[in-house]
Amino acid sequence: MAKAPPAPRSLTALSSLDQLIVGALVLFLLVFAFELLLVVPCGGWERISACEATIKSGSAWGLYFEIDPFWTAMPPWYAAVMNLQDLVFNPFWALSLAMYLTHRQDTAWFRTATIAVSSMIIATSGVVYAAQAAHPDITGRKLLMLFLVNSPWALFPALFIVRMHRAGERPLGRRVAV
């Protein structure tokens, strides 16, 4: 009996939802690259407030420094959140992109890891946003701008969680043994 040809491995072979997720992962990784252009010349998130790098004021980062009061002061807890993002979340997004592009996004270990990492980023995003909302220098306009700029880092991970939960279901709604 002849074997069926292998399923196509192109981006278009992914579902529409998975293609949206790939786009979100590309966005996250582009922002990571731009963060590195900021944080590396400054010597780390802990030194960002005293940094004089031109990218800090001569780019979109300058606008972000205007709306986020913690970026100008960079308290240790916020630097820890940013380091967690750069050392855990962003490398995981790169791994995730590779998993989707190789059509291995439905493996059990990856589904579990995605739910765990996405939950952590939603939690840290919520803590940061609550702290920003409580800051005495924050205005309603700045808070709205912060929400619009930062909401993808909570909304897309929520979508990732929904996607990973759906991956464990059969078309008839029965659970797949893991």
The pLDDT of residue 172: 42
pLDDT at 12: 83
The reported pLDDT for the residue numbered 8 is 57
List of the chain residues with pLDDT < 70: 1-8, 168-178
Domain count, the chain: 1
Give the angle 93-97-99 at the CA atoms, nearest 5°. 115
Instruction: With 0.75 as the threshold, say if the pTM is over it.
Output: yes
For residue 88, being part of any structural domain is answered with: yes
Per-residue model confidence (pLDDT) at position 7: 58
Provide the pLDDT for residue 112.
95
The answer to whether 160 touches 92, Cβ cutoff 8 Å, is no
Residue 40 belongs to a domain: yes
Structural domain contains residue 95: yes
What Rg do the C-alpha atoms of the chain give, in angstroms? 19
> What distance in Å separates the CA atoms of residue 132 and residue 79, rounded to the nearest whole number?
14
Domain containing 96: what range?
15-167
Q: Which amino acid is it at 86?
A: D
Q: What is the pLDDT of residue 4?
A: 56
Say if 78 falls within a structural domain. Answer: yes
Give the model's pLDDT for residue 150. 93
Residue 172 lies in a domain: no
* Angle between helix 16-42 and 60-67 (nearest 10): 90
Q: pLDDT tens, 39-86?
A: 999 999 999 988 888 777 777 888 888 899 998 899 999 999 999 999
Residue 52, pLDDT score:
85
Q: Indicate whether 129 belongs to any domain.
A: yes
29 inside domain: yes
What is the full DSSP assignment across 103-156?
A: T-TT-HHHHHHHHHHHHHHHHHHHHHHHHHHH-TT--HHHHHHHHHHHTHHHHH
Q: Which pLDDT does position 2 carry in this prediction?
A: 61
Residue 6 lies in a domain: no
